[in-house]
Amino acid sequence: MQNRELNRYDASFGSELMKLRSIITVVMITIMIIVFGIWFLISPKKEFSESENRQLALAPVYTFQALKDGSYMTAIQKYLSDHFPIRDEFMTFKTKTEILAGKEEINDIYIAKDGYLIEAYKQPRQTAKIINQFGKLYQDITTDAKNNMSLMLVPTAVTVYNDKLPAAAPDKGDLKQLETMDAIYKALPEIKRIDCYPGLLAQAQTEKEDANVSPLYYHTDHHWTTFGAYIAYRQYCEAMGITPLEESAFTKTVVTDSFRGTVYSKLNDTTVPGEEITIYENPENRLTVNYQDSEEVTDSLYNKDYLSRKDKYSMFLNNLHPLIEITNETADSDKVMVLVKDSYANSIVPFLVNHYKKIYVFDTRYYRFGPASFINQHPEVTDVLILYNMNTIDTDLGIGGIF
């Protein structure tokens, strides 16, 4: 008798609790929705996201036309998601959950071995255009520099560190970058081919046996390290018949240990540790670095102001400039180089300056007149080097500016 009563009593306790729990759940979430809504409205809006390194959407401007074709609504949607409160933290939460759920690839980034975050290689679409533009540069040059043109295509971590990719990953054991590189090299037989892959691969093998060796690529960024660039520099020298400087000729300085690069930003997994950037400087060099757009002249290849910011890699050659003129009084030759490149080259320039009295560095995303006409107006140019990494070359907006 008593027992039955007890059960009935408890059943009502259970249903009361169930009701209460539904109320708490819905009310709490309602409060959160309202809090986030108000937080969004009153929080100051940033124009630029440091962590994503991009301009955030601006508040949409109302026009009747925009309303009619619906672009006004799309813009509002974009604005809201770009400026949503604690956006970065939400991103972290999503990434962490996905990793916990067993994901090994998130937003086209592999969660690879040894703490590497490696960008997947996407099916290239621009190969024909790239070949065409490089060929155009060769065609358009009328000076002797034409005969001294070389091309270095740099495979990225997905190829060189292929072993580190998670098992069964689509890029594992399938080195598609090399196929694309080969296609470009073969289509341009008149340009000297500089293959840095064998050197990088050999070094990657050495690294496996000795964990203390410097890495070739950053763990959290799509660039190579200064050491990776050094290995490629040796390959360049070998191909060009130049005697490379030994590593010991350079003073190595760790300029930061809290670098978290572009690949990190795509995941925003805040538990990933920051890493070091090391720069190699030859104390013998007497440099004049002339940024032609800002008419700023310095004696250093670095702008250390960037070290206090998120995009620390930008310290190399002071980020982006259409044309930089670098003069080194102590170079071991009087040769003059034109370098047509992406941001990978910013790490190799500190080595190249030792062998070229003058290097003109072009970023064709911003330099609009084509390096060929510059070369034709400067007959003192002896060498032309094109340097691109294989991951961003396909989407590089500067390719169209090469002629």
Partner 1 sequence: MVFSSIPFLFFFLPLCLILYYLVPFKVKNYVLLAFSLVFYAWGEPIYILLMLFETLSDYTLGRFMDKAGDKKGLRRLFLAMSVIIDLSVLGFFKYADFIIESVNAAFGTAITPFGLGLPIGISFFTFQTMSYTIDLYKKEVSVEKNYFYYLTYVSMFPQLIAGPIVRFSTVNEELHERNIDFDGFITGGLRFLKGLFKKVLLANTIGSLWEIIKASAFAGDSGISVASAWLGAVCFTLQLYYDFSAYSDMAIGMGRMLGFHYLENFNYPLSSVSVTDFWRRWHISLSTWFRDYVYIPLGGNRQGTLMQLRNMFIVWFLTGLWHGAAWNFILWGVFYGVLLAMEKHIWGKALQKLPRILQHIYAMFIYVVGFVIFVFDDMAELKHYLQIMFGFGGVPLMNENLIWYLRNNFLLLILGCVIAFPVYPWIKGKLEHWTATCSGLMRSRTSAFVLSVMLIFGYMGLFFLATAYLVNDTYNPFLYFRF
The least distance separating partner 1 from the CB of residue 30, rounded to whole angstroms, comes to 7
Q: Any contact of residue 211 with partner 1 (CB under 8 A)? A: no
According to the binding rule CB under 8 A, does residue 139 interact with partner 1? no
DSSP β-bridge partners for residue 253:
279
Dihedral of the CA atoms 45, 50, 54, 57 (nearest 10)?
-10
Binding mask of the shown chain, residues 3 to 22, with x at each position contacting partner 1 by CB under 8 A: ---xx--xx-xx--xx-xxx
Contact window for partner 1 (CB under 8 A) among 103-111, 142-150, 238-246, 307-315: 103-111
Residue 344 and residue 224 in contact, taking contact as beta carbons nearer than 8 Å: yes
Cα end-to-end span (Å), the chain: 96
- Residue 403 CA to residue 382 CA, distance in Å, equals 17
Window contacting partner 1 (CB under 8 A); options: 61-69, 146-154, 213-221, 311-319: 61-69
Whole-number Å distance between alpha carbons of 218 and 116: 8
Q: Which amino acid is at 293?
A: D
In the bound complex, what is the minimum distance in angstroms from residue 111's beta carbon to partner 1? 10
Shortest distance (Å) from residue 38 CB to partner 1: 10
SS3 153: strand
Stretch of 67-75, 243-251, 257-265, 337-345 contacting partner 1, by CB under 8 A? 67-75
Of these, 166, 244, 274, 400, which contacts partner 1 (CB under 8 A)? 166
Q: To 10 degrees, the CA torsion angle through 311, 317, 320, 324?
A: 170
Give the x-and-dash track for 168-207 against partner 1 (CB under 8 A).
xxx-x-----------------------------------
With beta carbons less than 8 A apart as the criterion, state whether 282 and 245 touch: yes
The DSSP output letter for 295 is T
DSSP string computed for 50-74: TTTTEEPPPPPPP-HHHHHHTHHHH
Among 82-90, 131-139, 205-213, 332-340, the segment contacting partner 1 (CB under 8 A): 82-90
59 binds partner 1 (CB under 8 A): no
Sign of CA dihedral 119, 124, 130, 131: positive
> Which one of residues 52, 105, 140, 311 is an interface residue with partner 1 (CB under 8 A)?
105
Give me the half-sphere count of Cα atoms (radius 13 Å) on the Cβ side of residue 49: 21
Is the CB of 120 or the CB of 320 nearer to partner 1?
120
- Among 49, 51, 52, 94, indicate the residue that binds partner 1 (CB under 8 A): 94
User: What residues make contact with partner 1 under the rule CB under 8 A?
Assistant: 6-7, 10-11, 13-14, 17-18, 20-30, 32-34, 36-37, 40, 67-70, 73, 76-77, 80-81, 84, 87, 90-91, 93-94, 97, 101-105, 107, 123, 166-170, 172
